Amino acid sequence: MKNMKWYNRLQFIVLCLALTLAAVDWGLGLWMSLALVAVTIVKMVAERRVGNPALDMPLRVALMAGVAYWLCLVVSVLWSSDVGRAIREVNCEAVLLIAPLCVLLSDMSYIRENHLRTMFYGLLVAVGGVFVYNWITGTFEDKNHTYVAMYILPVAAFVYRELVLYRKGMSLWHRLVLYVAGLMAIVFLIYIDSRTGILCLYGIEILCGVHMALRRKWWHGTLMAVLLLALTFTAEKTLPNHNSRLSVAAVTSVAADEELVEAVAAGDTVLATGPLYGKYYDARVAINITALKTIADRPVFGYGAGDGPDALVERYGVEGYQSLKEQHLNAHNQYTETALAVGVVGLLVMLWWLVMPLIVAWRRKSGQWEVLVLTFIVMFSFLFESILERQMGAQFVALLYAIMILIICRYEASR
């Protein structure tokens, strides 16, 4: 950083803080994201230049895809029944614009490998600090477990990458810290009772084994994947979890289980407060099937920003799921949540945004594994939570996608 101009140094520090503080407190992360906008404007004025010369058209399109998704929400205000609520929904997801536009409009070609590593070491320290604090106070967060897991999983992937690429040049203490950080990520996911996090971690461990195998270390890759999977499985079965969320089986089909259908229709809840909890972990299947039926009524453009949850709750009553209606549960799935708001058209735009960096990285052979893992974490999390409906999820996803573009640029600059 010694040779960096002051505005580049300041922009990089604020970007690091935005990523790091998001894992500590999403409110602080949001303020840092807003600070990133201010610093980027100062930088553009100082340089007297707008635009990032390191980006070609495919990379610009990848960044603009997120903006296009947000614009779909803006347009959907036109057919929303409550314009005020729709505008609040649009404003909530406006954080999706911050990091991508900063990368698009500001020259960030100074970002190199060590800068990216510094960002993720900062995230590692932040997640580790939150873990230690929760361990000491005994207050592990399980209410927002999917969001917290999304902060933890990139740390686990980063630990693997560091040990694979830089292990030979590390001191013993450095390697030991990374091993501890990897174990911490596993324990953290279990202690917050995150089923999504644990399942996603299994997937990352398999990807790590495949990555090692593709580096022509077939035996090492297979052995490592098996050991990591065994370690995670053993920890999951032996460590205590607060609500026994990880130990109960999921319902795979509402239609195939008459007891669940009848119980929910009669008004019994299958959530943590209900008599069926412990046999059925929640009503996700009932929610998803009801959401699909609701989407089918207005499939093309959806119900409009802010109206999707109300349409879903109303459908709970039609289907006889009174407990779900009383709890006013949302879709708990970003894909169906998006389709409810902006229809299949908006869903296709969102999918385009999600996969575009991966397509670019794969075609150019630039940071394929890193972009693949980050994309997998986001898209897998979207299956089990409406991530973008809250700023604590939307701002972190926006940061990850901006960083993916920087990763691709860094690989191309190093050639």
Rounded to whole angstroms, how far apart are CA atoms 246 and 281? 9
Mean pLDDT of 370-382: 94
Chain centroid offset of residue 76 CA: 24
163: number of Cβ within 10 Å: 17
Q: Is the pLDDT of residue 121 over 60?
A: yes
What pLDDT does residue 234 have?
Answer: 75
Burial class (CB in 10 A: 0-12, 13-18, 19+), 263: buried
- Tell me the two tokens of residue 340: 């409810």
What pLDDT does residue 415 have?
Answer: 55
Q: Is the pLDDT of residue 176 over 60?
A: yes
Q: Is the pLDDT of residue 269 over 50?
A: no
What backbone phi and psi angles, to 5 degrees, belong to 241? -130, 155
What pLDDT does residue 251 have?
Answer: 36
Residue with the bigger pLDDT between 205 and 37: it is 37
**If phi over 0 gives left and psi between -120 and 50 gives alpha, with beta otherwise, what is residue 313?**
alpha
Buried b (16+ CB within 10 A) or exposed e, 84-119: ebbeebbebbbbbbbbbbbbbbbbbebbeeebbeeb
405 in Cβ contact with 413 (< 8 Å): no
> Which amino acid, one-letter code, is at 148?
V
Q: Dihedral sign for Cα 42, 43, 47, 53, please.
A: negative
What pLDDT does residue 239 have?
Answer: 61
> Which amino acid, one-letter code, is at 44?
M
154 in Cβ contact with 201 (< 8 Å): no
> Which amino acid, one-letter code, is at 407?
I
pTM for this one? 0.87
What pLDDT does residue 410 have?
Answer: 81
What pLDDT does residue 413 have?
Answer: 58
Burial class (CB in 10 A: 0-12, 13-18, 19+), 59: buried
When the pLDDT of each residue in the chain is averaged and rounded to a whole number, the result is 82
pLDDT in tens, 122-146: 999 999 999 999 888 877 766 788 8
Q: What percent of the chain has pLDDT over 90?
A: 35
Q: What percent of the chain has pLDDT over 70?
A: 84
Q: Taking CA 156 as the corner, what is the angle to CA 152 and CA 158, rounded to the nearest 5 degrees?
A: 115
Q: Is the pLDDT of residue 350 over 90?
A: yes
Q: Is the pLDDT of residue 147 over 70?
A: yes
> Which amino acid, one-letter code, is at 257?
D
pLDDT band at 18 (very low <50, low <70, confident <90, very high): very high
What pLDDT does residue 274 have?
Answer: 44
What pLDDT does residue 141 have?
Answer: 62
What pLDDT does residue 245 have?
Answer: 47
pLDDT in tens, 198-221: 889 989 988 888 888 777 666 666
